[in-house]
Amino acid sequence: MNMYRPYTLIAELTYRCPLRCPYCSNPIDYARRQNEIDTNTWLRVFHEAEALGVVQLNLTGGEPLLRDDLELLIEGASKLELYINLITSGLPLSQERLCRFRALGLNSVQLSIQSTRPSESDRIAGAPSFARKRETAHWVKSLDLPLSLNIVLHRDNIAEIADIITLAEELSADRLELANAQYLGWALHNRAALLPTRDQVERARTIAAQARNRLQGKMEVVFVTPDYYAAYPKSCMDGWGRRFMVVNPEGLALPCHLAQTLPGLHFENVQQRHLAEIWRHSSGFNLFRGEDWLPDPCRTCDRRTIDFGGCRCQAFHVTGNAGVTDPACSLSADHYLIENARIETSQLNGTPIVFEYRSAKAIPGRAA
């Protein structure tokens, strides 16, 4: 099992966030998990991660800017020569603080936007934020830091894709992630309001492909297809416990952002155990590694080394069983559950549905 090496550590520094996006990837019950690990524990985690092979560090959340010790964390990670990506909503931030981050070794900034229209961006984010985001983008570029723009696509904003590309060019983004929502956590809760139609997805994909060709070498354009409209699932996290490791705000070491929502799996806390031991020996990390666990039809499928059976969280949250083939796969016996969601969306004919903002009030009856 030591053949696996984590290249990227996703450090979720906090679940706190000034925004309330209805597709947030944090767990539904995030508000009950506010016991954040401290500066020294994070610095030790970075050290142990680097020793284990990690070279990329994503500082994320929630909103990582809400950590008062972000300067110390960037400084510590920089001493370890980690490539440090700050993944942020852009607020609360000042130009001076960003300047400090850069001086301490920050390598790149990924900034989220919710829409190209200020009022719509603020509506989706559930907080006035668009003007600050624009300002942040300018600061990032003026400091000569690479800028990635990330927009989560869903029914209400996917038609804006050409404008989104124009905005990214205006802001001189180096990379644009047009990421369809992953229907887990808050996005699954709000799926009826967020899932686009097939036509919407196809139109967006075509425009994104044209932009990718036109901008090659200047701006990287990444279009993340919603797996609800793909024939096969994504290789979620490049496979369970293969290249990525997440440490959540409480210190749980996980193969993905939501792995702790899977029942019956045991994950360990970095406050109790060395990261290398967790990576190699923790039962939660080993359960879905390799091919031994694979169900039918993955077991004999040629794509098993491409998608590794797909997303375990999607398997559980859609079918109730984390060990089955990702239902997004057209070969899955549970695929009808995905087809039903698509039919439901197409029958809405564009009728808007009110989504529920991420909030501290956990939704009764839902664990994720």
Select 218 or 299, whichever has its Cβ closest to other proteins: 218
Contacts with 311 (C-beta within 8 Å, 6 or more apart), sequence order? 182, 184, 227, 233, 234, 236, 256, 326, 328
Is 200 a binding residue for other proteins by CB under 8 A? The answer is no
Q: Given candidates 14, 85, 235, 260, which one binds other proteins under the rule CB under 8 A? A: 85
Select 105 or 295, whichever has its Cβ closest to other proteins: 105
Long-range Cβ pairs for the range 198-203 (8 Å, 24+): 198/229, 198/342, 198/346, 200/155, 200/158, 200/159, 201/158, 201/225, 201/226, 201/229, 203/159, 203/161
Instruction: Identify residues 261-290 at the interface with other proteins (CB under 8 A).
Output: none
Is 83 a binding residue for other proteins by CB under 8 A? The answer is yes
Query: Contacts with other proteins: how many residues (CB under 8 A)?
Result: 22
Q: Given candidates 68, 96, 144, 302, which one binds other proteins under the rule CB under 8 A? A: 144
What is the secondary structure of 194-231 as a DSSP string? Answer: HPPPHHHHHHHHHHHHHHHHHTTTTSEEEEE--GGGSS
Minimum distance, C-beta of residue 145 to other proteins, in the bound complex (Å): 8
Q: Which among 48-56, 95-103, 122-130, 224-232 is the span making contact with other proteins, rule CB under 8 A?
A: 48-56
Residue 357: how many CB atoms within 10 A of its CB? Answer: 16
Minimum distance, C-beta of residue 215 to other proteins, in the bound complex (Å): 9
Q: Given candidates 28, 124, 219, 258, which one binds other proteins under the rule CB under 8 A? A: 219
User: Contact 71/42 with Cβ under 8 angstroms?
Assistant: no
Say which residue the tokens 């959340």 belong to.
61
Is 5 a binding residue for other proteins by CB under 8 A? The answer is yes
Name the residues that contact other proteins, by CB under 8 A.
5, 7, 53, 55-56, 81, 83, 85, 107-108, 110, 144-146, 148, 174-175, 216-220
